[in-house]
Amino acid sequence: MESNRKIIHIDMDAFFASIEQRDNPSLRGKPIAVGSPDPRGVVATASYEARKYGIHSAMASQLAKKKCPGLIFVKPHFDVYKEVSRQIQSIFSEYTDLVEPLSLDEAFLDVTYHKKGRPSATLIALEIKQRILDTTKLTASAGVSFNKFLAKVASDIKKPNGIFVVTPADANTFISNLEIEKFFGVGKVTAEKFHRIGIRTGQDLQKLERMDLIRLFGKTGNYYYDIARGIDNRPVNPTYIRKSIGTEETFDQDFSDLTTLNGKLNEIGEELWVRMDKRKTFGKTLTLKIKYADFEQNTRSKTFQSFITQKEQMKSTAMELLLNCKNELFRGVRLLGLTFSNLNTESTDDAIQLTIEF
Ligand code: TTP
Ligand code: MG
């Protein structure tokens, strides 16, 4: 097991909600949700007081209200969130240049070689937490380990305002006892798939052969096989490379007829093409995302040997993907999205290939 790196994952606690409570004392200690209370609104995040009622990110606001009638909805202030994000990034950069932000409120730091001469990664993480608190009056949680997977999972263990360290000696026990849904990269759907075949913990996962996992999950099977053994050699990548570009639209009513949905998909396609064009980017894979009225979500993809360089090809592929779902549309569709991935900007190999094709 490669175990000589020191990786920290920092994640702010209830990020948007904590900022709103910081900036408006009357919200402190109360169950709040950042988001719109509108019939079609969703919760972006909930304060810890609200989480006690089972409220979480992406929950429909209506349901959240039912669970907690006293819930206070607060409008987001994205400019403030971005400013706090800049402040924490600047603290990170005092310790290392190997910082990979995952979103506004979280980042990986590789501190194997760092700028401050501290004797341990745990000390650095504690110091960063304190610096964040002093600068922003907000708490963060930290995970410390020897790779990204373990650091990411660890930062969640002692939330809020916690720190958890997984050393090489602890790793195997830690993973064995970890519930499958806590694995970084395992979403709800994958977790259910694992549950169906009796896999609930890391220990269960370790019993599967690499080939079993590849059969079940394709390429990602390799990743699951490795992380079940604490292996994750992905570097902390300071220049974040965009892996996909997408557009989606939540409608203000649910649609179930193919003609209307085709029209909507056409508009989404136009928008996506503008975004691709701005970045001079092409993709080989097009993914259609459908969210139904009952909030269940499905994706369908098609991958081509070469890049999709014609708008009409993108549009006809999108319609084809939608047509594949036509027997489900009666459920009512509340959201459609289109995403390009396998982009020509991802690796130089592909870029070269693209030049040849042109
Ligand atoms: P998270 O770090 O996932 O959540 P959090 O910081 O609110 O709470 P935790 O203490 O569990 O880390 O996301 C960071 C912010 O991103 C969150 O405050 C709001 C926003 N967000 C959304 O807008 N929609 C979402 O579905 C999620 C998960 C987050
Ligand atoms: Mg967070």
Beta-carbon-side half-sphere exposure of residue 124 (alpha carbons within 13 Å): 27
Helices (H), 279-347: 311-323
The CA distance from 15 to 82, in Å, is: 11
Other CB atoms within a 10 A radius of the CB of residue 81 amount to 19
Band of pLDDT at residue 7, cut at 50, 70 and 90: very high
* Cβ of 20 below 6 Å from ligand 1: no
Preceding amide of 160 cis, omega within 30? yes
The CA distance from 202 to 3, in Å, is: 19
Band of pLDDT at residue 2, cut at 50, 70 and 90: low
pLDDT tens for residues 9-59? 999 999 999 999 999 999 999 999 999 999 989 999 999 999 999 999 989
**Which ligand lies nearest the alpha carbon of 159?**
1
pLDDT tens for residues 121-138? 999 999 999 999 999 999
Distance 260 CA to ligand 2 centre (A): 38
Give Cβ neighbours of residue 280 (< 8 Å, ≥ 6 apart): none
Could you list the beta-strand ranges (E) of the chain: 7-12, 32-35, 43-46, 72-74, 99-103, 106-110, 140-145, 163-165, 244-255, 283-292, 297-303, 333-343
The CA distance from 226 to 282, in Å, is: 31
pLDDT tens for residues 161-175? 999 999 999 999 999
pLDDT tens for residues 214-264? 888 888 899 999 999 999 999 998 876 678 899 888 888 999 999 999 999
Q: For each of the domains in the chain, give its residue range(s) and CATH number, in order of start.
A: 1-144+156-164 (3.30.70.270), 171-227 (1.10.150.20), 244-343 (3.30.1490.100)
DSSP code at position 160:
S
pLDDT of residue 103: 87
pLDDT tens for residues 297-350? 999 999 999 999 999 999 999 999 999 999 999 999 999 999 999 998 775 333
Active site residue 357: no
Which one of 20, 49, 100, 106 is the catalytic residue? 106
pLDDT of residue 350: 37
pLDDT of residue 278: 78
DSSP code at position 60:
B
Q: Which protein residue's CA is at the shortest distance from atom 23 of ligand 1?
A: 44
Give Cβ neighbours of residue 240 (< 8 Å, ≥ 6 apart): 100, 101
Mean of pLDDT values over 147-152: 97
Instruction: Report whether pLDDT(355) > 70.
Output: no
CA dihedral 316, 322, 326, 327 (to 10 degrees): 140
* Cβ of 11 below 6 Å from ligand 1: yes
* Cβ of 44 below 6 Å from ligand 1: yes
Residue whose C-alpha is closest to residue 134's, from 88, 169, 179, 202: 88
The angle that helices 121-136 and 78-95 make with each other, rounded to 10 degrees, is 140
* String of DSSP letters for 177-196: HSBGGGSTT--HHHHHHHHH
* Cβ of 49 below 6 Å from ligand 1: no
pLDDT of residue 1: 55
Distance 210 CA to ligand 1 centre (A): 33
Rounded to two decimals, the pTM is 0.74
The residues with which 301 forms a beta bridge, in sequence order, are 287
